[in-house]
């Protein structure tokens, strides 16, 4: 009798194990196929990239796409613009949000709840609501102060940094809260000012959380298209807008578009795999405990 | 050794006393100083434009007045009147776009959350290669959204797309499906948005699963709970707080998402895929109807706030009360 139930248990365990593996495999195929397919098409000449009977396997290594894609329009400028914009945004947003998040976790002050509500409130603002006012504001600054704002790096960076700050504060707050305040007290006994304690004690300890937040900010800035389409054209056109130009009125250069996509994706994937431990730890450790 | 510790403790008490004596005012001032840059920037980019946007919504700003918006006539609630009149073209199209937005947000949150939960549970049962699987599952979240949206656009093409090809070869469908144009567009958007967002849900839920103490499962087993019982009475209640946060953020992010419809559907979006963000953008900028666009944006904003408030009232506050019990 007991033997039968243990056998049942074992059989159940095996079946559950197999089902789990099968499910995991399906999830991984779903998650990875588009990325794989991007690479496969980037390696195909044009007539095969749009074939009605495509091969699922990587069957050609046609590298010409990676050469030709630069010649159609200033793709290299788009890449550089995006890097300048996204990297500066990340650095500025992390710095400003760290100060605010620190203030938020360590002090209580009048208006704290209001500020917290405002942070959450920004997550509900539809971009189209503030798009035209932002454009008008930029034009106003331009005509009245003489400082050009539309189609400039600093204009776009200013807007993107501010967009990133509320969510960055929300993420960083969780990590800072996990760092015991006694460590700072000890540092201050040794003669550090509060600011030095923040820079030397809190920020290094929160490094994984800052890395995760930084990844988030970078991706947000790199992917933004709504404000970019209105505030950042001509010389500062970012990659997110520029890459769509592979799709012309008459035809789409899918092979070259996928080659450009692969070039944009690989550095991010490599950085993520190298630093996945701090990024994943950081992504989860702060917010789970909220 | 001992005297050293007592010395240090004494110094700490001494310092505490000094810091206490420093007036609370100074601490508050310091706290404000650190908040100032963030607060000023948010005031300029978030709050001033909201008021400005609300102002624009009660003005008649069209092609004539856009360069001199401050001279445009105030028309009170006329724009809103047009919106709430379902017989006008813009009124009916706007509310249709709101319906599509709701479908998009609901589909995204249901799909991303369930797939995220399933994947998190799979990753939680340690198997060979689970570490690698955990990294691989996160890749869709790491890839730039614009790039993957274009990849999906290519895969979903009806004549040359790989998805139709695979479905046709497998015999699932007999005729190619039209994914990006017509009534299916909204489902394609949901599918792609799930793909983009489920890794984030997975990793958050996975971390929450890891933090559930083992003794809770042991207690459930002693009480005779099987696999399902443990999941139902231990895992799900423990995951509730983080699930509330995840689902609220997913709903809000989908509700005001512009990138997915804009890039996936291309320049000429079909009606079914025209969620409010895209509809407002197209309508306001193509017809120079900025006042009307402002009114639509205000309505969308109020809806998003309403969702968050209802959510907060029923889910978030309940969660925090529940947390006190254990």
Per-residue pLDDT of chain B (326 residues; tens, 9 = 90+): 456 667 777 776 666 666 665 667 888 888 999 999 999 999 999 999 999 999 989 988 877 777 777 778 888 888 898 888 888 888 899 999 999 999 999 999 999 999 999 999 999 887 788 888 989 999 999 899 999 999 999 999 988 889 999 999 998 988 888 999 889 999 999 999 999 999 999 988 998 898 888 899 999 999 988 888 898 999 999 898 889 889 998 999 999 999 999 999 977 778 888 999 999 999 988 888 888 999 999 999 999 999 988 887 776 655 444 333 33
In CATH, the architecture of A72-288 is Orthogonal Bundle (1.10)
Helix (H) or strand (E) holding A186: helix A181-189
Please state at what angle helix A276-288 crosses helix B185-210, rounded to 10 degrees.
80
Planar angle of CA A278, A280, A283, nearest 5 degrees: 100
* pLDDT of res. A2: 52
Q: Give A 44-83 residues with CB within 8 A of chain B.
A: 50-54, 56
Query: Is residue B143 exposed (0-12), middle (13-18) or buried (19+ Cβ within 10 Å)?
Result: buried
Q: Which residues pair with residue A252 across a beta bridge?
A: A247
Which among A27, A52, A288 has the least Cβ separation from residue B211? Answer: A288
Which among B38, B204, B293 has the least Cβ separation from residue A165? Answer: B38
CA distance A17 to A22: 9
The CB density around residue A281, as the number of other CB atoms within 10 Å, is 17
Q: What is the ipTM of this complex?
A: 0.89
Q: Which of B5, B46, B50, B147 is the best substitution to test chain A (most A C-beta atoms within 10 A)?
A: B147
* pLDDT of res. B192: 97
Alpha helices by DSSP H, chain B: 2-21, 24-42, 48-56, 78-83, 89-124, 130-137, 139-142, 145-155, 162-169, 185-210, 214-222, 227-230, 236-255, 259-264, 276-286, 290-311, 317-323
DSSP one-letter string for B106-146: HHHHHHHHHHHHHHHHHHHS--TTHHHHHHHHTHHHHS-HH
Please state at what angle helix A207-223 crosses helix A75-106, rounded to 10 degrees.
140
The per-residue b/e assignment along A15-52, b for 16 or more CB within 10 angstroms, e otherwise, is eeeeebeeebeebbebbebbbebbbbbbbbebebbbee
Please report the domains of chain B, with CATH numbers, ordered by start residue: 24-51 (no CATH), 86-323 (1.10.3720.10)
Q: What are the boundaries of each domain within chain A? A: 2-42, 72-288
Q: Are B160 and A50 in contact (CB < 8 Å)?
A: yes
Per-residue pLDDT of chain A (290 residues; tens, 9 = 90+): 455 666 677 888 888 888 988 999 999 999 999 999 999 999 998 888 777 788 888 888 888 999 989 998 899 999 999 999 999 999 999 999 999 999 988 888 888 888 888 888 898 999 999 998 998 899 889 888 889 998 999 999 999 999 999 989 988 888 888 888 888 888 888 888 888 888 888 888 888 888 888 988 999 999 999 999 989 888 899 999 999 999 888 888 999 999 999 999 998 898 888 888 877 777 776 554 44
């Amino acid at each position: 009798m007991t033997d039968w139930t243990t056998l049942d248990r074992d059989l159940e365990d095996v079946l559950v194990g197999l089902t789990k593996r099968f499910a995991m495999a399906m999830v991984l195929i779903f998650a990875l196929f588009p990325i794989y397919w991007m690479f496969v098409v980037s390696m195909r000449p044009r007539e095969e990239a749009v074939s009605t009977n495509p091969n699922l396997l990587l069957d050609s290594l046609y590298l010409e796409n990676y050469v030709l894609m630069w010649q159609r329009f200033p793709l290299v400028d788009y890449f550089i613009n995006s890097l300048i914009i996204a990297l500066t945004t990340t650095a500025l947003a992390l710095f400003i949000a760290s100060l605010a998040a620190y203030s938020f976790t360590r002090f209580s002050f009048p208006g704290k709840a209001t500020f917290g509500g405002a942070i959450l409130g920004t997550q509900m603002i539809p971009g189209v609501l503030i798009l035209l006012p932002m454009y008008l504001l930029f034009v106003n600054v331009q005509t009245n102060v003489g400082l050009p704002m539309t189609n400039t790096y600093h204009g776009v960076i200013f807007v993107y940094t501010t967009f990133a700050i509320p969510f960055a504060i929300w993420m960083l707050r969780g990590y800072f809260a996990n760092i015991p305040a006694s460590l700072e007290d000890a540092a201050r006994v040794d003669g550090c000012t509060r600011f030095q304690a923040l820079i030397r004690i809190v920020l290094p300890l929160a490094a994984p959380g800052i890395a995760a937040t930084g990844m988030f900010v970078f991706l947000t800035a790199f992917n933004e298209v709504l404000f970019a389409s209105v505030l950042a054209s001509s010389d500062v056109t970012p990659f997110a807008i520029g890459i769509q130009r592979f799709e012309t009125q008459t035809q789409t250069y899918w092979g070259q578009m996928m080659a450009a996509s692969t070039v944009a994706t690989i550095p991010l994937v490599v950085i993520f795999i190298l630093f996945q431990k701090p990024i994943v730890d950081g992504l989860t450790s702060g917010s789970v405990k909220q | 050794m001992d005297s050293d510790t007592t010395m240090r403790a004494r110094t700490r008490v001494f310092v505490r006393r000094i810091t206490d004596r420093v007036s609370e005012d100074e601490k508050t001032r310091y706290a404000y100083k650190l908040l100032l840059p963030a607060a000023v920037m948010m005031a300029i980019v978030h709050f001033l434009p909201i008021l400005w946007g609300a102002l624009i919504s009660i003005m008649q700003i069209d092609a004539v007045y856009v360069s001199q918006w401050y001279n445009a006539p105030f028309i009170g609630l006329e724009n809103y009147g047009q919106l709430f009149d379902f017989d006008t073209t813009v009124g009916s199209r706007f509310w249709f776009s709101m319906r599509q937005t709701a479908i998009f947000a609901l589909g995204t949150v249901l799909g991303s959350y369930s797939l995220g939960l399933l994947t998190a549970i799979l990753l939680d049962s340690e198997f060979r290669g689970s570490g690698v699987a955990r990294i691989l599952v996160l890749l869709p979240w790491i890839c730039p959204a614009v790039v993957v949206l274009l990849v999906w656009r290519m895969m979903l093409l009806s004549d040359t797309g790989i998805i139709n090809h695979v479905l046709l070869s497998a015999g699932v469908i007999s005729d190619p499906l039209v994914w990006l144009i017509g009534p299916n567009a909204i489902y394609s958007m949901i599918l792609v948005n799930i793909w983009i967002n489920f890794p984030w849900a997975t990793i958050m839920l996975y971390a929450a699963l890891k933090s559930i103490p083992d003794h809770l499962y042991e207690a459930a087993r002693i009480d005779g709970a099987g696999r399902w019982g443990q999941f139902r009475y231990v895992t799900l209640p423990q995951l509730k707080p983080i699930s509330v946060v995840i689902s609220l953020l997913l709903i809000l992010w989908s509700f005001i998402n512009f990138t997915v419809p804009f890039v996936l559907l291309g320049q000429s979006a079909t009606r079914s895929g025209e969620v409010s963000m895209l509809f407002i953008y197209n309508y306001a900028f193509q017809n120079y109807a900025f006042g009307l666009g402002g009114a639509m944006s205000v309505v969308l904003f109020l809806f998003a706030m309403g969702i968050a408030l209802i959510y907060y009232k029923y889910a978030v506050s309940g969660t925090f009360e529940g947390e006190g019990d254990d």
